[in-house]
Structure 1
Amino acid sequence: MDYDSIFKKLTRGARFDRTKYREDAENLGIIPKKAPKLEENIPENDPKKGIFVTNMNIDDDTKYPLLSDFNEVNKAIKNNLKEVLRWENPTRIQMAAIPILRAGENCVCTAATGSGKTGAFMIPVIEKLLKVGKKNVKDTIFTIVLSPSRELAEQIGGVGRALARGLWPKISDTSQSDKNIQSCHVLCGTPNRIINMLDSKELDLSKCQMIVLDECDKMLEITNKLNPDDPKSFSAQVNLLRSQCADNHQMGLFSATMSGSVEKFGHANFNNQGVTVAIGKSGNAVNQNVSQKVIYCGNERGKLLALREFIKDGFRPPAILFTETKERCQRIMGELLYDGINAMSLCAAKSNADRQKVIQATRVGKVWLLITTDVASRGLDLPMTSTVINYDCPNSVTDYVHRVGRRGFKPHLSIFRLKSICLIPLKRCGRYNRSGHAITFFSDADRDRIRILRGVMVQSGAELPQSVMNLAKADLNDKKRVKTQKVEREELQTKVPRKNPIAAKKFKNRMTKMAIVDRKRIRKQNNLKVLEGGNDAEDGGEWETAE
């Protein structure tokens, strides 16, 4: 008698859902096992696969040749690509986007995180400047690049300065001095900062010929649908900047995820005269080289225990830990400092200078664990990191894809040398096709959120617990509700004995003394100092790299 016959006799009269319990049915041999999907290995320099170019105007049959290699780029820029950045071959987004931007067309480009989008728009911008000539441009702003965060704007400016090394075009970002900003040809910054400079008459965009929006999907989230003309709305800010630029200026939208709002925004601003570029068929998906893991923790206390267990098992530093709010970010850092872990926080509560020092310390490997909010999830290149921890489950697929995209360690990568804000790698430092790990903690309060993320996890090859697979499928209404709904979370704290007040006081004093000793040891080993406002004896004191 075979397994199927035995199972039928034992379950006679009982209803068995073969779809829900497919794994059990496969193990019993009732139904054949699904053949594993073969990963589609698309070579990075193969122009025939994975690139989809579509004209917004259906009647327009114009075709744009793909960039085969960097020999088609300006010679001076090509030398910087190979000698400074050590980029040998263009990525697929660079193959498709560079010829389109050269031709003066508006475009909406979508590619995975770390696939070289910055080079895709910065190379044609510098080429156009060299073609126009220094006499015709003088000290006027030719292009503005908008990004959702100051750190990303500074990183884009660093890549631009590396591409333009030894050439006359000046690339600046809003973190530099007013003199550099007013004399630059390409300005990178956030919309608010550039508008403030326009209001104070520090900038003149009347001759600006091109506008680039990087991480456009994130910026479009800051939109007041009830009042589109709200000054805090991104669409209103872009319209204001466009009105200050030259007529018939060119626009480029770049993003890691293709959402309906990005496509709609492109059609509205391009008057259906533009090009859409998509890399890959999967859309909002995580790189197949990232191994994803989901851990059920029960409650907030369980999350802290799971984090300590992860650290105890050992990991390759630095790792990035994402939280939901800046308060939780600071609190978790305080808990880890009690344990003697070399951790730093990066959130909106810090000043621009302090945030930059933390990022630099993470890039050169002086930080074991970077605790941050979604301020670091968009566009930042932290090439030494191999592990991403979602301590608080993100509330949308877009946020999850961007968070996981921060991973990117590759053993053969070289050490980086730091010059000002620009990182000059000795070998190519993009996160394209690098392997890594992503761990997501979820509690009972995150049940609805994990339902939304389950689809993209399964699509990218993640192995999820059966309890997660059994959760009901989320519909569109669930996604809208979860995105706006705030999760009530318990306060993070290490529990101390409370029955005996004397014992509780002794325990607290002992923990404080241990923290002081551990912090001094970490400071001595890693050449760190406490930031202003922090104290060795205070819980949650912050650290920075000593000059």
Structure 2
Amino acid sequence: MDAEDLFRKLSNGAKFDLKKFQYDAQKLQVIKPRPVVGPFPIQINSQNEIRKEKVDHEEEISELKLISSITADGNKKKQLSNKDIKNKEAALNQEKINRFRNQQKISVRGNDLPPPIENFEQLVTEYGVGQDIIDNLKNLGYSVPTPIQMQAIPVMLKNQQILACAPTGSGKTAAFLVPIIHHLKGPRRKGFRAVVVSPTRELAKQTYRECLKLSEGRNLRIHIISKASIAMKKFGPESSKRFDILITTPNRLVYLLQQDPPVISLANVKWLVIDESDKLFEASEDGFRDQLAVIYRACESENVRRALFSATHTPDVARWAHKNLKGLVSVTVGHRNTAADIVEQQLLFVGTEAGKLVAFRDIVRKGLTPPVLVFVQTKERAKELFNELLYDGINVDVIHADRTQLQRDNVVQSFRRGDIWVLICTELMGRGIDFKGVNLVINYDFPPSVISYIHRIGRTGRAGNPGKAITFFTENDTVNLRSIAQMVKDSGCEVPEYLLKLKKSSKRDRRKLEKKAPKRDRISTVPLCDIKKQKKLQQKIQATKRKKEKGNEDGPQASKKKKQKP
């Protein structure tokens, strides 16, 4: 019995749907094959092959119909053919651009998007950027553009407003300075035509130095507001508008704008750059949203363009930018609000506050490779830790808001030169400061937020150099512990499994922690009674000094009167 007989016996008495299984029926000769109408005969092999050939056949038929519908005019055929070729080339180019963006982890949204550059020479050939700017870039150490520079520079060169987010140490400063220097071309007597606003004086000075180097040979007049009293005289009405670029912090600029009449004019500003925009948009006591609104209104030119740059993304900034900035282009490098992959991260449980000092000294004992940045939550704790490490004989210094600007500048310069090995600081230094070759960041006090953690550890692992970050935590540091632990794991570092299973904290608790630092035990190992005695002794010494100074101010006549008294 062959297959056909078997099929007939099995199908005997069963209703067989010949239409549904016509190909099987034809193959088993239950029904006769139907002739195929058309210029392309179909050879029956298998059901999949038939379907494929049928689709091909239908596509060729539709192509023939398209060709037959066109008139015999040869020019018309040629025009249609060229259009198809152009469309196909455009699609292939776009596919290539998308593939390149994916390789560089660049995400971009907006209209009329320029393609990213692959090398700095493209800026010269495609955008007319001067070769001197490219040479200055290379002198700064940029041999090839970083991912944020690949996309942000072309966007700003096309005069498009931008919201950019890229990891710390990725070259954001050069990404917005290069287009500004190109657009301004050279000095003009029109007053400030570009303004860069930074949250801290240290970051403003760093941007100022980089701007001077990038604009070398252009004779642009670049200024930074160091003191408001000096700026009052410098930028007054008698200045003849001999300025081009202004780099400043918000408070000092707002002070000048709110004088009657205003000391400074921003009427001719073409570019307003907000560096560390997420920090400047904060509405808390530490934020600058009110000051930023004053600056925004002062840039009253119709042609002003705005650029917002930061290492972290916040929904508030994104909503405002999309609502108020026309034709906005959003550029993101990597995943939003993530730590750099080249930073080796470690979460270290130290038990209690007292355990932090033990853990720190253990790190020093095992071997400390300077330079090292240590973050604490308040200036009082910075002073306490400084005194403890000073007794240990460590080459250490401290920077906080109580120190004068001159002292802070000297400390930063000493740390850059390598004269200081360990620098203790508060959140003040967590934003944008670029210290070359920081090998280790220690979060002595747990960061108040995930964003703070990203910026803190971003002081190491910059410009492609590897780094390490150690974060101490106690039983009380549970609010952001799970989120930061997940981030550390996503970066490829080891994390204890129990940290990932912690209960997720509420949004209310997270916001509360951001506004107010938690109470912690003192760092100092000196008994509290001894500290109080020392304070009282210092107060007595200061009181004695004040009396002597007052006596010297009264002069010899006061002393004679005292002697004449019976």
TM-score interval, smaller chain: 0.7 to 0.9
Give 1:171's match in structure 2, choosing from 219, 222, 229: 222
AA aligned to 1:77 is I
- Per the TM alignment, residue 66 of structure 1 is displaced from its structure 2 partner at its CA by 1.6
Give 2:179's match in structure 1, choosing from 116, 124, 128: 124
Does residue 434 of the first structure (1) align with residue 465 of the second (2)?
yes
AA aligned to 2:243 is C
Distance 2:420 2:494 in 1: 30
Distance 1:433 1:478 in 2: 36
Residues 503-522 of structure 1 correspond to what in structure 2 (within 5 A)?
A: none
Structure 1 residues 476-485 or 188-197, which shifts more?
476-485
Partner of 1:115: 170
Partner of 1:63: 113
Partner of 2:538: none
Q: Would you say the 8 A contact 1:146–1:188 is kept in 2?
A: yes
Pair 151,485 (structure 1): closer, same or farther in 2 beyond 3 Å: closer
Pair 103,109 (structure 1): closer, same or farther in 2 beyond 3 Å: same
Pair 339,345 (structure 1): closer, same or farther in 2 beyond 3 Å: same
Unaligned runs of 5+ in 1: 1-44, 225-231, 409-430, 499-503, 510-532, 534-547
Pair 155,233 (structure 1): closer, same or farther in 2 beyond 3 Å: closer
- Per the TM alignment, residue 398 of structure 1 is displaced from its structure 2 partner at its CA by 0.3
- Per the TM alignment, residue 432 of structure 1 is displaced from its structure 2 partner at its CA by 2.8
**Secondary structure in 2 aligned to 1:266?**
helix
- Pairwise CA RMSD of aligned residues? 2.5
Pair 470,46 (structure 1): closer, same or farther in 2 beyond 3 Å: same
Q: Would you say the 8 A contact 1:161–1:170 is kept in 2?
A: no
Partner of 1:92: 147
**Secondary structure in 2 aligned to 1:446?**
coil
Deviations along 1:232-265, whole A, 9 cap, x unmatched? 9633322221222222310000010111112012
Partner of 2:19: none
Q: Would you say the 8 A contact 1:452–1:474 is kept in 2?
A: no
Unaligned runs of 5+ in 2: 1-98, 124-128, 535-541, 543-566
Distance 1:329 1:483 in 2: 19
Distance 2:498 2:147 in 1: 38
The alignment covers a number of residue pairs equal to 418
Residues 124-523 of structure 1 correspond to what in structure 2 (within 5 A)?
A: 124-130=179-185, 133-134=186-187, 137-138=188-189, 140-175=191-226, 178=231, 183-200=242-259, 201-223=262-284, 234-245=288-299, 246-271=301-326, 273-280=327-334, 282-408=335-461, 431-495=462-526
Does residue 79 of the first structure (1) align with residue 140 of the second (2)?
no
Please report the TM-score for the alignment, with normalisation by the length of structure 1: 0.72
- Per the TM alignment, residue 380 of structure 1 is displaced from its structure 2 partner at its CA by 0.3
Please report the TM-score for the alignment, with normalisation by the length of structure 2: 0.70
Partner of 1:413: none
- Per the TM alignment, residue 47 of structure 1 is displaced from its structure 2 partner at its CA by 4.8
Higher relative contact order (CA 8 A, sep 6+): 1
Distance 1:486 1:318 in 2: 27
Distance 1:167 1:78 in 2: 13
Partner of 1:4: none
- Per the TM alignment, residue 141 of structure 1 is displaced from its structure 2 partner at its CA by 0.3
AA aligned to 2:165 is T
Distance 1:250 1:66 in 2: 20
Distance 1:453 1:391 in 2: 15
- Per the TM alignment, residue 267 of structure 1 is displaced from its structure 2 partner at its CA by 1.7
- Per the TM alignment, residue 338 of structure 1 is displaced from its structure 2 partner at its CA by 0.8
**Secondary structure in 1 aligned to 2:168?**
coil
Distance 1:234 1:267 in 2: 20
AA aligned to 1:331 is E
Pair 497,389 (structure 1): closer, same or farther in 2 beyond 3 Å: closer
- Per the TM alignment, residue 65 of structure 1 is displaced from its structure 2 partner at its CA by 2.1
Residue identity (%):
34
Pair 74,219 (structure 1): closer, same or farther in 2 beyond 3 Å: same
**Secondary structure in 2 aligned to 1:447?**
coil
Q: Would you say the 8 A contact 2:189–2:243 is kept in 1?
A: no
- Per the TM alignment, residue 478 of structure 1 is displaced from its structure 2 partner at its CA by 4.2
Q: Would you say the 8 A contact 1:101–1:124 is kept in 2?
A: yes
Distance 1:301 1:442 in 2: 11
Distance 2:351 2:451 in 1: 25
- Per the TM alignment, residue 444 of structure 1 is displaced from its structure 2 partner at its CA by 2.0
- Per the TM alignment, residue 268 of structure 1 is displaced from its structure 2 partner at its CA by 3.0
**Secondary structure in 1 aligned to 2:196?**
strand
**Bigger-Rg structure (1/2):** 2
Pair 197,461 (structure 1): closer, same or farther in 2 beyond 3 Å: same
Q: Would you say the 8 A contact 1:54–1:275 is kept in 2?
A: yes
Query: Which structure is higher in helix share?
Result: 2
**Secondary structure in 1 aligned to 2:492?**
coil
Distance 1:452 1:488 in 2: 21
- Per the TM alignment, residue 139 of structure 1 is displaced from its structure 2 partner at its CA by 5.2
Distance 1:364 1:349 in 2: 23
- Per the TM alignment, residue 86 of structure 1 is displaced from its structure 2 partner at its CA by 3.0
- Per the TM alignment, residue 477 of structure 1 is displaced from its structure 2 partner at its CA by 4.2
